[in-house]
Chain A
Amino acid sequence: MRDSNDAIAWPFYVGSALALIVLVVPVLIVILTGLNAGDYMTFPPQGLSLRWIKSFLTSPTFVPAYLFSFGLAAATMAIATVIGTMAAIWIQRRGGRLAKILRGLFILPLVLPGVVIGLALYVFLISTGLPLARTFYGLLVGHVIVTTPLVIATVTAALVDFDRSLEDAARSLGATAWQAFFRITLPLISGGIGAGALFAFIVSFGQFEVSLFLSTPDLQPLPIAIYTSLRYRFEPTAAAAGIFAIALVVTSTVISARLVNFRRLFGGR
């Protein structure tokens, strides 16, 4: 590895290897546990088996939780993508002080404690008597609040990349501002919008903190269901459920790698 990149000194490769171990090993262990033949994980493993996968697929708690999370994430994605994309376009086109303030507000849920956001929403829904508390829609609202910032960030990065002279060209040929926007700009930033949508889906699918106060025993997203089972014992069935979640995340990341230029995502502000 070193010869092709001799600009990078060896300590960086050692550090990188450590970081990759920290990132990847826990995930590999979940996969191994879900495929392990024994009742609990041992070293060395006791051999491969599909018994926990079968146990997951017939589980009365994990399968409904997986499907519930999937539906919640799909609904969250739909709303967050629409309102987030619109807001990002406004922020980028409007510019100035007001846009800066609102952008700060929209990004705020990313740095504030998810437990507090969920708790505040729960208290608010209960005390105002809005008929959303302890329902699917209460969870949905909380998930939209924490995923919209991600859509706004991703779409803003795509808009920064966009060459506005293309829009000027359309307008000089007679298109109205909105026509130019819908026919030229929107198709060209659709990759960024798609990546933002996938991001929102996955973050909602794996969301724990915001769901903590908003979920009920009847409305359990997958992370809450796995958490509940982990507090009592290490069920390999939960690891098998994890394998299906890992598959979903890796697939979506690979798709979004095709949708956007990752380099833009890091540099985008």
Chain B
Amino acid sequence: MAAAMSKSDALVLDPARSIGRRPVRRPMPKLWLLVLPASLFFLIFFILPVASLLGMSFNKTIPGVLGFSSALTLDNYVRIFTRSLYFDAIFRSVGIGVLVSLVCLLLGYPLAYVIARTKVPARVTVLTILVLSSMQLDMVIRLYGLMVLLGDNGLINQMLLASGLVSAPLHLMYNTFGVVVGLVQVTLPFMIMSLIGVIRQIPPSFEEAARSLGASRAAAFRHVALPLSMPGILSGSLLVFAMSISSYVVPALMGGWKVLVLPIHVYQQIAEAGRWQFGAAIAAVLFLTSLLAVIVYDRAAAYIAGGRS
């Protein structure tokens, strides 16, 4: 890279070098060399693999055989959409994703608002470091903590039993509830991060103006700050939704393999049954669901932007 750049330096005589002329903002010579490595890397190790996985999903499923053939069939997709085991998993995944987005929004908005509006810099830094650290920490470690807390012999059940509030342990995990709690824990920081930027751009004077005109604090929030937060609410929800439907580790640990969502099916078909082509088809459905969410988000964001101007 360095060699290519020094060569381009030597070759180009820049008109802006002549003294006294206003510099013209010309593109740097051979600028495209900068994007070449990333483009090649993504082409070979991202686009081609994903495309060939999609291609393989149209091949007949032969257990234990991994390879491509030119004989295309829709069998795998027909199977997904006619067997309730797989078909239900699509709705289960989407339903859990929507629920987790809502819970994250309810929990995340207040903290994002406080971080965005607090005037004490040290407090903002501490809160931001807390959120960023929990966002970056290995999910499996955080789930370990949750499992110690929520298990049948976990801390919550120990406390409840000791206090006599319940006579038998509550089942707080290895079910859908546990998966939702796990996903909320894992995705909440991403919701908060998406909201902070947007809330910070809303001048506090807007709400103050509404209040000076007689609006209650709640009304000022509902009619001024909340609508203006919509871009962040949308992008945060998209991110949380996409992460929730894609997660394998959370349903695997918190659902104890009983909550059958799409990523669990992908893993079971491939790692346990060796049915590569069928697993690829489920992966493709998962992939398209994520992509569909991105498109819906794009439309909604454009609609909101259009409605405001």
Residues of A at the B interface (CB closer than 8 Å) are 4-5, 7-9, 11-16, 18-20, 22-30, 33, 40-43, 82-84, 86-87, 89-91, 93-94, 102, 105-106, 108-109, 111-117, 119-121, 123-127, 141-142, 144-145, 148, 152, 164, 168, 171-172, 174, 176-179, 181, 199, 202-203, 205-206, 208-209, 212-213, 222-223, 226-227, 230-231, 234, 238-239, 242, 245-246, 249-250, 252-254, 256-257, 262-263, 266-268
Q: Which of B17, B38, B50 has the most CB of A within 10 A?
A: B38
B28, A181: Cβ atoms closer than 8 Å? yes
Q: Which of B19, B25, B31, B42 has the most CB of A within 10 A?
A: B42
B17, A178: Cβ atoms closer than 8 Å? no
Q: Taking the nearest CB of chain A, how far is it from the CB of B94, in angstroms? A: 14
A245, B45: Cβ atoms closer than 8 Å? no
What separation, in Å, do the CA atoms of A25 and B145 have in the docked complex? 8
Which residue of the partner chain, among A27, A177, A268, contacts B134 with CB atoms under 8 Å? A27
Residues of A within 8 A of B35 (CB): 86-87, 90-91, 94, 102
A239, B144: Cβ atoms closer than 8 Å? yes
A168, B23: Cβ atoms closer than 8 Å? yes
B118, A177: Cβ atoms closer than 8 Å? no
Q: Tell me how many residue pairs across A and B have CB atoms closer than 8 Å.
A: 329
Q: Which of B25, B200, B221 has the most CB of A within 10 A?
A: B25
Decide yes or no: A253 and B129 within 8 Å by CB, A94-B31, A111-B239, A113-B290 being known contacts: yes
Main secondary structure of the interface of B (DSSP, over half): helix
Which residue of the partner chain, among B114, B144, B147, contacts A16 with CB atoms under 8 Å? B114
A257, B9: Cβ atoms closer than 8 Å? no
Q: Which residue of B lies closest to A115 (CB)?
A: B248
Name the 7 nearest CB pairs between A and B, nearest first: A15-B110, A26-B145, A266-B197, A113-B246, A206-B138, A124-B49, A120-B49
B148, A29: Cβ atoms closer than 8 Å? yes
Within 8 A of A (CB), among B23-56: 23, 25-29, 31-32, 34-35, 37-39, 41-42, 45-50, 52-53, 56
Residues of B within 8 A of A15 (CB): 106-107, 109-111
Residues of B at the A interface (CB closer than 8 Å) are 1, 5, 8-9, 12, 14, 16-17, 19, 21-23, 25-29, 31-32, 34-35, 37-39, 41-42, 45-50, 52-53, 56, 66-68, 106-111, 113-114, 117-120, 124-125, 128-134, 136-149, 153-155, 158-159, 162, 184-185, 188-189, 192-193, 196-197, 200-201, 204, 207-208, 217-218, 221, 238-239, 242, 245-249, 252-253, 263, 266-267, 270-271, 276, 279-280, 283, 286-287, 290-291, 293-294
A117, B46: Cβ atoms closer than 8 Å? yes
Residues of B within 8 A of A89 (CB): 34
What separation, in Å, do the CA atoms of A23 and B191 have in the docked complex? 12
Decide yes or no: A11 and B110 within 8 Å by CB, A123-B66, A266-B196 being known contacts: yes
A83, B38: Cβ atoms closer than 8 Å? yes
Decide yes or no: A250 and B140 within 8 Å by CB, A12-B110, A112-B246, A115-B248 being known contacts: no
Main secondary structure of the interface of A (DSSP, over half): helix
Given A178-B8, A230-B147, A246-B137: 12 more A-B contacts, CB < 8 Å:
A20-B111, A29-B149, A43-B158, A111-B294, A123-B66, A124-B48, A126-B66, A176-B14, A206-B139, A246-B133, A262-B125, A267-B201
A238, B38: Cβ atoms closer than 8 Å? no
A234, B147: Cβ atoms closer than 8 Å? yes
Q: Which residue of B lies closest to A33 (CB)?
A: B148
Which residue of the partner chain, among A7, A119, A202, A222, contacts B117 with CB atoms under 8 Å? A7
Which residue of the partner chain, among A30, A120, A148, contacts B52 with CB atoms under 8 Å? A120
B17, A176: Cβ atoms closer than 8 Å? yes
What separation, in Å, do the CA atoms of A75 and B194 have in the docked complex? 29
23 A-B residue contacts at CB 8 Å?
A7-B208, A8-B113, A15-B111, A22-B184, A27-B137, A30-B148, A33-B145, A86-B37, A87-B35, A113-B245, A113-B287, A119-B53, A119-B283, A121-B46, A123-B66, A127-B68, A223-B140, A226-B138, A230-B140, A234-B148, A254-B129, A262-B125, A262-B128
A266, B137: Cβ atoms closer than 8 Å? no
Residues of A within 8 A of B38 (CB): 83-84, 86-87, 106, 148, 152
